[in-house]
Chains A and B, each alone.
Chain A
Amino acid sequence: DGGITQSPKYLFRKEGQNVTLSCEQNLNHDAMYWYRQDPGQGLRLIYYSQIVNDFQKGDIAEGYSVSREKKESFPLTVTSAQKNPTAFYLCASSRPITGGVTGELFFGEGSRLTVL
């Protein structure tokens, strides 16, 4: 089945450590996204990438970094510079918008990061 796979599902980290969250998709989508989800708040965009080797900052990029070396993969690194990293992180992808196709986001099941 096609879809988006995020790993790990749960992750614990000590303060001062960097951690990388994996996101892989086999939907052949060009665009990929990382969102952060906090209780009582909507999804907030961290980074997005429309094509391989290119990515753009979203609304809350500070303290995060990404890479897009392959179409299928869009890993997110939460650095020690992120002041409040404990959150639920969602990766998504979307199809090219042609022929009236909407920009539907396809999400993974998320990674919950807890900083101890």
Chain B
Amino acid sequence: GENVEQHPSTLSVQEGDSAVIKCTYSDSASNYFPWYKQELGKGPQLIIDIRSNVGEKKDQRIAVTLNKTAKHFSLHITETQPEDSAVYFCAASWDNYGQNFVFGPGTRLSVLP
């Protein structure tokens, strides 16, 4: 079955700097890759996703890149702000159905003022 690894497990950046979180997956059949953000005491929330027919997707300060050959995808956050501090989870799935999502272990991002 699918296995998703995520690095780093913790990341601290200065406010205004960029942050990059990388995930690798094992199943070449996976074609949907969402990223979820979990703020303290709350449930995760989808922030961006990408499909295998696209190499990059951007939404304001957040971007995701996908390298299907290498089986890895990354989350890029530019101009980080304190409210970006959270745990970020990547996931991989061979379809859009929630029961098939395989989540990475998460990255705790701290943005230092």
Contact = CB atoms under 8 A, between A and B. Distances in A.
Interface residues of A, number: 25
B73 interface: no
Interface in B87-106: 89, 91, 93, 95-99, 101-106
Contacts of A110: 41-43
A43 B32 contact: no
B102 to A, nearest CB: 7
A42 interface: yes
A31 interface: yes
25 contacts: A31-B98, A33-B99, A42-B4, A42-B6, A42-B102, A43-B44, A43-B89, A43-B101, A48-B98, A48-B99, A90-B43, A94-B98, A102-B32, A102-B34, A102-B49, A102-B96, A103-B93, A103-B98, A103-B101, A105-B44, A105-B46, A105-B98, A107-B43, A107-B44, A107-B45
